[in-house]
Chain A
Amino acid sequence: MPLVWLRVAVAFYAVGLLYSLLLLSKRGNLLAKVVEPAVGLGLIFHFVSLVESTVQVGRLSFASIHYSESILAFMAMVVFFIFFVLYRTVSPGVVIFPIVFVLTFASAIGQKPVTLTSPLLRSGWIFVHVVLIFTGYAGLFLSFGASLLYLVQERALKAKRATPLLTWLPPLQTIDEICYRALLFGFPFMTLGLIAGSVLAIDKYGPLFFYDPKILLSFIMWAVYMLLLYTRWSSGWRGRRAAFLATFAFVIALSVWAANSFSRTHRFIVS
């Protein structure tokens, strides 16, 4: 049953995806009026799906990679909606919707019954670790999306032509604020998540845990995250330079995700 709800959520998220594609192809925004309620409903079904599967298993669990994808997508949508409420703009969705769609879609087609292999996954600490890290990711994703939009808007303003994009995108300063606040929002979660993970790992594997590729990459990502905030604080980097850094952070985030297959500490699935 959780899978059914998740698939319904995917269908709603598809509206978001379609909206993004239509915007990028400059076909106007036919879906502008329905996209908010659609992804909102998607989020509700997504939530129902997560709750039900948790209830079925008896606790929150991250044993399946598909389940984790679903959680990550959920957190991304939650952060998106927080910023939507604050700034009344769906524009970062252009980047967020496709990511969320791909994550939930992958999660919805391949979900197998959850298999618990590691006793570690039963602990409450792991739940704290994963939720914190994923919230941090969600902030980073949103900031990355907004920084791309910043570039688009900046270019449109510099080109001095009244393009449809220029009228659709929120003002440059609003995009900039979303960019920055999303980073600020995500950073403490990411930091606490890493601390929680480190505590867990030291407890379980000893100090050597640090040589795991996934963990190493995670710390690099954290450093880039820190760098993003620092350049922003110290010299007000925004626009092109900030977007490059954010893209860099995003690529590392992707490789952290991919590093699962090489990671000792994060391989939980029975294959």
Chain B
Amino acid sequence: MSLYQQRRLTNIISMSLSVIATGIALAFLCWILWTLLRFGVPHLTLSAFTQNTPPPGSQGGLANAIVGSLILTVGGVLIGTPLGILAGTYLSEFGRGSRLAMVVRFVNDVLLSAPSIVIGVFVYEIMVRTMGHFSAYAGTVALALIVIPIVVRTSEDMLQLVSDTMREAAAALGAPQWKVITHIVYRAARPGILTGVLLAIARVSGETAPLLFTALNNQFWSMKLDQPIANLPVVIFQFAMSPYEDWQHLAWVGALIITFSILVLNIVARTFTRGRRPQA
């Protein structure tokens, strides 16, 4: 075989392997989504949304878990977003070269990559143990701790994409700095920041590990925030691991609901930045 043929062959083989690798990755995505549809759809009935989680062996739904998940997610996002946006503002607007900004940027990355179960353990230590019982508050704080680093990161990135000439133009018109930031910079970066918040929502709505030790679960309809609260991920975990068939069916329904909501959120978040990306 000539050197030329050998090189061509190497190229063809490696390129085919690359196509195969892509095929494998996509195949797993399809396999997982297909599994969810196959096991989730047959049991996806109206009662899944209207009835509470049942005791073993009887019919029921996921209403309390869905509402609980919504409460925890909204709570986590309400705490995490303002803090995250303000911290991101500091990093991009005030702190630029400062030492505090450098440290916070790094520490934020640490928080971003911290295993979520460690966050659960931390919140258990500081809240559940001191309060003496599991509660929706603790779950909310755990989720907020996951939201914060995501929002800090995306807001800083998006604010930095706003060109300095725009800031200078506003300042030249006599606008004070807070007005420049809140009226000009935020407005220009809004789609990007919104994307970050949506991605954070998508991320926390599937989080299970931190809720195991904080919000725990509740078999009943509960709106009390200082009590354990039902939530989809933990219900899915408990029901999937249970020997009861009814529970396992509900676990698949929950898995289907959660995954497809998250996929939709992700796709919506993407369309926000598409085309309307702030000018670099």
**Are A and B physically bound partners?**
no
Which A residues lie at the B interface, using CB under 8 A? none
Residues of B within 8 A of A (CB): none
